[in-house]
């Protein structure tokens, strides 16, 4: 019974933080989805760090599944990519997807190494 509560609590705070970061970032870059990029890259690093840290299962549920699950967003990434494609903003799409995937994997690896 405790596991779903940990995920719920982490998700609550993760969603609020994602909203705050996205709103803050949108002020400086209304033409590029920098907020989604920031949360996904931060989440990649933090999740890698958590995996490498040897954290107990409760911490993984609260911070990893709950917080990071709500903080990062795969669906928004895809939707924003589709919107840029529909507007034929090919350079932005390439930069956005390359930064998300290449930097995200690298940051997850780096976070894991730092966590160890």
Predicted local confidence at residue 28, as pLDDT: 84
Residue 33: exposure state from Cβ atoms within 10 A (0-12, 13-18, ≥19): buried
Mean pLDDT across the chain, nearest whole number?
95
Does 72 belong to an annotated binding site?
yes
Task: Quickly tell me which residue has 């609020």 as its tokens.
Answer: 16
Task: Give residue-wise pLDDT tens across range 47-68.
Answer: 999 999 999 999 999 999 999 9
Structural domain total, the chain: 1
Give pTM, 2 decimals.
0.91
Host domain of residue 63: 2-115
Mean pLDDT by 10 residues, the chain (116 residues): 95 97 89 94 97 95 96 95 97 96 97 96
Predicted local confidence at residue 106, as pLDDT: 98
Does 69 belong to an annotated binding site?
yes
Q: Are 10 and 61 in contact (CB under 8 A)?
A: yes
């Amino acid at each position: 019974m405790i596991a779903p509560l940990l995920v719920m609590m982490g998700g609550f705070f993760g969603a609020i933080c994602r909203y705050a970061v996205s709103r803050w970032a949108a002020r400086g870059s209304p033409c590029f989805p920098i907020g989604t990029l920031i949360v996904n890259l931060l989440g990649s690093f933090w999740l890698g760090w958590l995996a490498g840290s040897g954290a107990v299962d409760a911490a993984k549920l609260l911070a990893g599944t709950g917080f990071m699950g709500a903080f990062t967003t795969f669906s928004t990434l895809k939707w924003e990519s589709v919107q840029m494609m529909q507007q034929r903003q090919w350079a932005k799409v390439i930069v956005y997807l390359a930064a998300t995937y290449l930097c995200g994997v690298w940051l997850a690896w780096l976070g894991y190494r730092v966590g160890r």
